[in-house]
Amino acid sequence: MTRRSFLQTAMNAILTMGIGSLFSSRTAGAVSNDIHHLRQVITKNPNQTRIIQWDSPHLLQDICVELRHAGEQQGRTELFSPAYASLAQDEEAQFIYHAEIPLPAGGGSYRVTHAGGRTAWIPLSQEHSNTNVRALFFSDSQCSERYDVWQQVYHTAWQRHSAADFAAIVGDLTDNGESSWHWCSFFAAMEGAENPLARCIHVPVLGNHEYYGLNWTATPPARYLRTFALPDNGSTEFRGHYYSFDLDNVHFIILDTQFLELGMRGEALKREQLDWLMRDVKGSTAPWKVVLMHKDILSYGEYQTETGITTGISDVGRVFLDIFDALGIDLVISGHVHSYRRRQIRARQTDEHGTLYLLTGPAGNQYFNVPAERYDLAAAPNPAPSNYLYMEADKHQLSIRCEALDGTILDVISLHK
């Protein structure tokens, strides 16, 4: 038996037996034996709707999502029939379900039922009625043989900021995008305790590791695209690769920076995404424009295939820096480098009035020594400790800080309008 097969077999045994001492999802009461990784996923308008999604090894009978309004525990429930897609990868087959449900005014709860069982009722947050947007940003949660560090970072962040409106994971969610063991371990680490995976909105971003096949060469990110039912971007070829949503005063734009991993299709994604980006930002009236993308705008020692450099503006930076200037993007959050850095750039020069670029991570257990770049205004020590970002934004101020797992505040910065 190979090492990968052993790890995969062990995880399957854990899920079958429901060993709460190892992964506490069963103790949280959120899942049944046939419903795995129950999660909330972002929609175009999270003030009004939510995507409820889960995996199952079986095609379930009489499956539905029940929605109960707050204060109506004994009353009538609304029923929503889910759609599903099948996925066969890594010697496993599974069915991935999703249903879009309305968010009741005043809050409510949901559960998933089928002929063989049901989940517990999961609370839904109330409609977002204030103008203060709160968000958690993680990057590079990927781990090698254990996802315990990711588990600690994720749950610690939610414990410190339980009122956050959503959590975004800015690429490299897992170490291998085709591996069932890695995806199962990633989600299992997010379950248990108060189970924010099922209770709160999650915003995924494609990273290069989502493009890795079992042989560690580039392959289409099929598992990622099936795992998350994401807002429509109008694309026929790259649905789910990029999208946007609004939450009160902030317009969030999620981009796919994996042009290299796409090979021959990379140029097509680049052109299509840039055209969409222009239309999308110009169509938004939100005062704050925030971009989430995996690869960074600077090289930090990584060889750039188009220019042959290892320092300065990266290949991805050459694609986006000028258009971000033109569109007046306020904040860009990226990962990939596994370090925290703060930069403020306009016209490819450091400028206190330019776009704020924050590099974050790791949220997992992969630590690197990262060289400095001349644009750096603040930096974590080398190697950077596991960290995440917490943001609050109202109409006139956007504040964000980088917090380490041990509680150290690595950096704080605010933007004003």
Q: Which amino acid is at 151?
A: Q
Question: How far apart, in whole angstroms, are the C-alpha atoms of residue 360 and residue 136?
Answer: 11
CA dihedral angle for residue 52, residue 55, residue 60, residue 65, rounded to 10 degrees: -10
E strand or H helix that includes residue 84 = strand 83-89
Q: Which two tokens stand for residue 137?
A: 């940003």
Helix axis angle, 3-17 relative to 180-190, nearest 10°?
40
Antiparallel, parallel or unpaired: β 64-69 and 78-80: antiparallel
Mark residue 269 as left, alpha or beta (left: phi above 0; alpha: psi -120 to 50; beta: remaining).
alpha
Neighbours of 350 (CB within 10 A): 14
Mark residue 177 as left, alpha or beta (left: phi above 0; alpha: psi -120 to 50; beta: remaining).
alpha
pLDDT of residue 262: 96
- Say if residues 415 and 398 touch (Cβ distance below 8 Å): yes
Q: Give 373-399 pLDDT, tens digit per residue.
A: 999 999 999 999 999 999 999 999 999
Neighbours of 192 (CB within 10 A): 19
Antiparallel, parallel or unpaired: β 133-138 and 166-170: parallel
Question: How far apart, in whole angstroms, are the C-alpha atoms of residue 415 and residue 398?
Answer: 5
Neighbours of 85 (CB within 10 A): 13
pTM of the model: 0.91
Question: How far apart, in whole angstroms, are the C-alpha atoms of residue 205 and residue 169?
Answer: 6
- Residue ranges for the chain with pLDDT beneath 50: 1-31
Half-sphere exposure of 276 (CA within 13 A, CB side): 21
